[in-house]
Structure 1
Amino acid sequence: MIHHLVLLKCKADVNQSQIDEMFDQLNALVGVIPGLLSCKGGNNNSPEGISHGYTHAFVMQFENADARDNYLPHPAHKKVQPIIHALLVEGSDSALALDF
């Protein structure tokens, strides 16, 4: 199993309905993209104070690395990317992805 973790730095003026829409669109990929088993995400609520400006995150579970690799260029994934990018602050560190 592969876990795909994405951390996001959203703009300060993004409202909760925009965030909800982004997560709804991501969750809708389950059942559409072969091998994508689940998607969960939400707002950072950690009391540790070490989020380094990352405000939101989501994690996807894939059956295997091949399923994850097929997700990346999948047309349904490509449709959601602009929705996510529109919410992010400017800069190269506005999103961080790690797979394990």
Structure 2
Amino acid sequence: MIRHIVLVRFRSDLGEEAIAAILAALGPLSTRLGFTAAWGRSESPEQIERGYLHGFVADFTSWDHLAAYQADAEHKAFGAALMQNAQGGMDGILVFDLAIQDPVSIT
């Protein structure tokens, strides 16, 4: 499994409703392309987000599955909306892809 992690520092002039609407576009995209996703605002008690207060994770079955998502026109439009609304454009977005061999559950 590939976990695609995206953190965003949205522009300060955007309210929570506008940010939620931008991130909600991930729902139909995940349904159509067959990956699982979760998104929202950080609720970390550590409060060391360094301005990256919103983000999402998307889980793909393989690198090829992630590549298909990246090549998708709807994904490209979603990414453009993120960049348009991130503080400093691309400088306000952090992406981290993690290959997970054997997911571990902590109970």
* Structure 2: unaligned runs, 5 residues or longer: 99-107
Distance 1:91 1:28 in 2: 24
TM-score relative to the length of structure 1 = 0.87
Kindly, what percent of the aligned residue pairs are identical?
A: 29
* Structure 1: unaligned runs, 5 residues or longer: none
**Greater Cα offset, 52-61 or 42-51:** 42-51
After the TM superposition, list the runs of 4 or more consecutive aligned residues in structure 1 that deviate by more than 6 angstroms: none
Alignment of 1:83-98 (within 5 A): 83-90=81-88, 92-98=90-96
TM-score relative to the length of structure 2 = 0.82
Q: Which has the higher helix share?
A: 2
User: What residue is the counterpart of 1:57 in the other structure?
Assistant: 55
Q: How many residues align?
A: 98
User: What residue is the counterpart of 1:71 in the other structure?
Assistant: 69
Distance 1:59 1:67 in 2: 15
Q: 2:39–2:55: 8 Å Cα contact kept in structure 1?
A: yes
* Structure 2 counterpart of 1:82, one-letter code: A
**Greater Cα offset, 90-99 or 4-13:** 90-99
Alignment of 1:1-100 (within 5 A): 1-33=1-33, 36-90=34-88, 92-100=90-98
